[in-house]
Structure 1
């Protein structure tokens, strides 16, 4: 009886404990700038993660804050941190905390301006305004030249990141379409008549959509025998779907996609380019992704990658990347033959098309069937070679990690000396200082080491132990943990039982000496590997 009573009291205490105090979120869930739970976390080139809106505003104001460790972040490349976003939402659900809300851009700008110490007088033409003012401003903006996929509202630095990547990321916040990219570019690679017409039509896209009549109007014009009328129709479609999620959802009908598909095959430069850009915009809506693939839009996009105009290829790569984000599309896109032209574009395209091709390949190789295809195409050596390109390394290493996760990929990568390449990147800290890139290099090595005696010999030849010890001392926690596991694997099964790893021995004499040193107490013979 007494035992039952004690157990009952324990149960009451157990159920009440969680409500005693509200749990504070882990520090890594908070943006270092806004100090708020991140709604849309994004990794920057220097490896830190921030709220995307904070990054965008810092870039617009040309300001890089000094972090607590004295370093300044590099905002040149921004990639969504989907894993952290999932972890934040999981933590919120588990603790009963409310999910993070979209950030207030005006508050963030005020915070950043106060950090910059400028008193709000930074020399920058890119002044942020509220969402309502921004929407209202669309109808008041003077003509601008627009020629890239999900075109935006103001000018920006073309050297920052790929436009279609940003378009996909921006679409992850449907309630606030401008929350992650409120300022935009006026990039134009070819001042054509059609591009100028885009500008003239740009101020008319804020009206609400009557889906059936709008859809029919576009279809009629796109099927016209007059090429000029086709051009104007596809330009209007591109403008209509640039920022309006409602337009993207309402206009993405089977009949409109079929009409647009014919224009993707056009040999008129402006017609093909604007059709491909409209295709990117339509693909941003999550509900459209599977519909677009099932409508047969991937083959003409692949044809553009193979033989289209330069700017059209940029849009085609961006569209395939956007469509590849949907799990149900990954296998189909690979079966339709997108992998070879994506690999070719990755090696020979423009900066924008290479970035989007790299990200498309990463998402596609999350599926085993596509990994096998990429390996059979002999892409392992090419991907390792591209890791030496600072501009592409952060994206390409993601695909290398995917390939290293399967037996066939491990064998192919080891055949082309991936260990030497990855260890070289880690050794050259000054050249490849991005924390995320280094972390992914370690992750790839960790996958390559899985049950592989061959890896041990290659690691010994490249001096991997010394480099991994540097990782253990100076890199992120995840990189340190994987580096420790690799080092323990290098030491072999004889010393794994002894429990503690002698890191100093590894540093001074390499893996072999460390094994001899620990083996003395157990009277076992150490063997070279």
Structure 2
């Protein structure tokens, strides 16, 4: 008995060592995937091989077996239990292989996606793939067979009707429904290699080890920057975004971790479904607002503003972001940030102020003054963005009054004299029109400019349609004012 116990202990020690070796190899391969801009398929294949070996070790451990194979009796018994009832229907996600209870013939699975093929096609090497995935492979510029690495003589995809009919018959016999993929066509396809890499990344993201978690956040930032599939997988995983937000909430003075987490959120927000998820998380928007104010580096603050801009594409998020107090720190960033951060801040404020209630918040936060300061600065890199924002705000009387009282008329007239782009000229005239509409004294100031230089007339005869309408209105109002003044004497 003692010998038996010792042998059993050595077997399990060996299994643990083997697992650790597989884990180390898998982490190395995941890092290679993240650094590999060429998308070498062999790296993904190696990762799949290691994952399969690790899975086999753990399955055997669960069954109490020392080796890498399950017993025939157990396997046969499980197969009997896994056979579905005649009337049952199993719905299989297109991005996954069938569940264990419906064993899928291996030759029905696409070598690239590990999912059942919906449109099997044959390439010139004689191998069969799902059309969508092999097209993605070829569209990326690769001209080799993903399975054999053989150079393809051509890129013709020939339908494999035999395999298609076999899959259709098998699905019918087993009550399997193949759902169409939810991925948008322009957002790429999720391969088995992608899923393997993401699974490992999630394990590290949820690890109790801070170094592992911090590295996982950095990796997530890098992967979501260039990969549509990783943005989609993070949104589909119910733990990914909440865990990322949890790590951000604990970042404290770790400026590098905060920047990585904020930038990862920015990248994730590009994927449309993620906008709703990030916005619905109780801490998501609040943490981004906090990072705009106290993000540490200017890059972090700018990326947080860019993330708010992205989230504000949804009206529900516009309201929430405004109510949670994002506009004052964004206005502060517009006034004091570096050029790139200022652009992000101006864009975010503009998007938010499409909602009327946020315009009042922006005016109270000093957005009009901040915009005028940028427009007056001939070296400003965000004058055009500031004019667009000011034109939007000036639709509200409170903003027009602030522009009038803040010396806006001479600033805008000076900008018009410089003859900048048509859109910026239009926005400048729109603001002038709004100011003249509520302050007759400023109309006289514009009249003096018109008498000396004909600035408004130039726009009236050579601007955009909207600019011409506003300029003509100003000129007509000037004539009426002059006529009234003459008759008052």
Same fold (TM over 0.5): yes
Q: Supply the distance in 2 between the matched residues of 1:210 and 1:382 (Cα, whole angstroms).
A: 45
Aligned residue in 1 for 2:275: 289
Displacement of 1:420 in angstroms is 1.9
Q: TM-score normalised to the size of structure 2?
A: 0.56
* CA separation of 1:426 and 1:320: change in aligned 2, threshold 3 A: same
Contact 2:312–2:351 (CA under 8 A) maintained in structure 1: yes
Matched, 1:444 2:431: yes
Q: Supply the distance in 2 between the matched residues of 1:382 and 1:239 (Cα, whole angstroms).
A: 34
Q: Supply the distance in 2 between the matched residues of 1:307 and 1:319 (Cα, whole angstroms).
A: 15
Displacement of 1:409 in angstroms is 1.4
The superposition leaves residues 307-346 of structure 1 with CA deviations (integer Å, 9 ceiling, x where unpaired) of 2232222221211111122222112111111111111111
Displacement of 1:303 in angstroms is 1.5
Q: 1:422 aligns with which of 412, 433, 439?
A: 412
Q: Supply the distance in 2 between the matched residues of 1:339 and 1:239 (Cα, whole angstroms).
A: 29
Q: 1:268 aligns with which of 254, 261, 268?
A: 254
Q: Supply the distance in 1 between the matched residues of 2:198 and 2:327 (Cα, whole angstroms).
A: 32
Q: 1:359 aligns with which of 335, 347, 353?
A: 347
Q: 1:331 aligns with which of 319, 322, 333?
A: 319
* CA separation of 1:417 and 1:206: change in aligned 2, threshold 3 A: same
Displacement of 1:258 in angstroms is 1.7
Aligned length: 308
Aligned residue in 2 for 1:230: 213
The superposition leaves residues 450-489 of structure 1 with CA deviations (integer Å, 9 ceiling, x where unpaired) of 3553442343355488210121233333322321122112
SS in structure 2 of the partner of residue 449 of structure 1:
helix
Q: Supply the distance in 1 between the matched residues of 2:386 and 2:184 (Cα, whole angstroms).
A: 29
The superposition leaves residues 158-177 of structure 1 with CA deviations (integer Å, 9 ceiling, x where unpaired) of xxxxxxxxxxxxxxx96446
Q: Supply the distance in 2 between the matched residues of 1:350 and 1:417 (Cα, whole angstroms).
A: 24
* CA separation of 1:224 and 1:459: change in aligned 2, threshold 3 A: same
The superposition leaves residues 254-293 of structure 1 with CA deviations (integer Å, 9 ceiling, x where unpaired) of 5322211122231323322211111011101122212211
Q: Supply the distance in 1 between the matched residues of 2:438 and 2:296 (Cα, whole angstroms).
A: 46
Contact 2:363–2:398 (CA under 8 A) maintained in structure 1: yes
Matched, 1:408 2:398: yes
- 1:67-106 aligned within 5 A: none
Q: Supply the distance in 2 between the matched residues of 1:219 and 1:133 (Cα, whole angstroms).
A: 29
Q: 1:135 aligns with which of 137, 140, 157?
A: 140
Contact 2:409–2:432 (CA under 8 A) maintained in structure 1: yes
SS in structure 1 of the partner of residue 437 of structure 2:
coil
Aligned residue in 1 for 2:475: 487
Aligned residue in 2 for 1:370: 358
Displacement of 1:236 in angstroms is 2.5
Structure (1/2) with the larger helix percentage = 2
Q: TM-score normalised to the size of structure 1?
A: 0.52
* CA separation of 1:291 and 1:490: change in aligned 2, threshold 3 A: farther
* CA separation of 1:288 and 1:209: change in aligned 2, threshold 3 A: farther
Q: 2:382 aligns with which of 377, 392, 404?
A: 392
Aligned residue in 2 for 1:306: 293
Contact 1:342–1:357 (CA under 8 A) maintained in structure 2: yes
The superposition leaves residues 340-360 of structure 1 with CA deviations (integer Å, 9 ceiling, x where unpaired) of 111111122222211111111
Q: Supply the distance in 2 between the matched residues of 1:411 and 1:225 (Cα, whole angstroms).
A: 55
Displacement of 1:401 in angstroms is 0.8
Contact 2:327–2:349 (CA under 8 A) maintained in structure 1: yes
SS in structure 1 of the partner of residue 140 of structure 2:
helix
Contact 1:219–1:256 (CA under 8 A) maintained in structure 2: yes
More relative contact order, 1 or 2 (CA 8 Å, 6+ apart): 1
Matched, 1:345 2:333: yes
Contact 1:215–1:256 (CA under 8 A) maintained in structure 2: no
Larger radius of gyration: 2
Displacement of 1:373 in angstroms is 1.0
Q: Supply the distance in 1 between the matched residues of 2:320 and 2:389 (Cα, whole angstroms).
A: 18
SS in structure 2 of the partner of residue 405 of structure 1:
coil
The superposition leaves residues 472-523 of structure 1 with CA deviations (integer Å, 9 ceiling, x where unpaired) of 233333322321122112323xxxxxxxxxxxxxxxxxx73xx48xxxxxxx
The superposition leaves residues 232-261 of structure 1 with CA deviations (integer Å, 9 ceiling, x where unpaired) of 211232233223334323312453222111
Q: Supply the distance in 2 between the matched residues of 1:480 and 1:278 (Cα, whole angstroms).
A: 44
Contact 1:401–1:443 (CA under 8 A) maintained in structure 2: yes
Contact 2:334–2:370 (CA under 8 A) maintained in structure 1: no
Q: 1:280 aligns with which of 266, 269, 274?
A: 266
Q: Which runs of 5+ in 1 are unaligned?
A: 1-129, 138-172, 179-204, 493-510, 517-523
Contact 1:420–1:462 (CA under 8 A) maintained in structure 2: no
Aligned residue in 2 for 1:255: 239
Matched, 1:382 2:365: no
Aligned residue in 2 for 1:120: none
Contact 2:334–2:345 (CA under 8 A) maintained in structure 1: yes
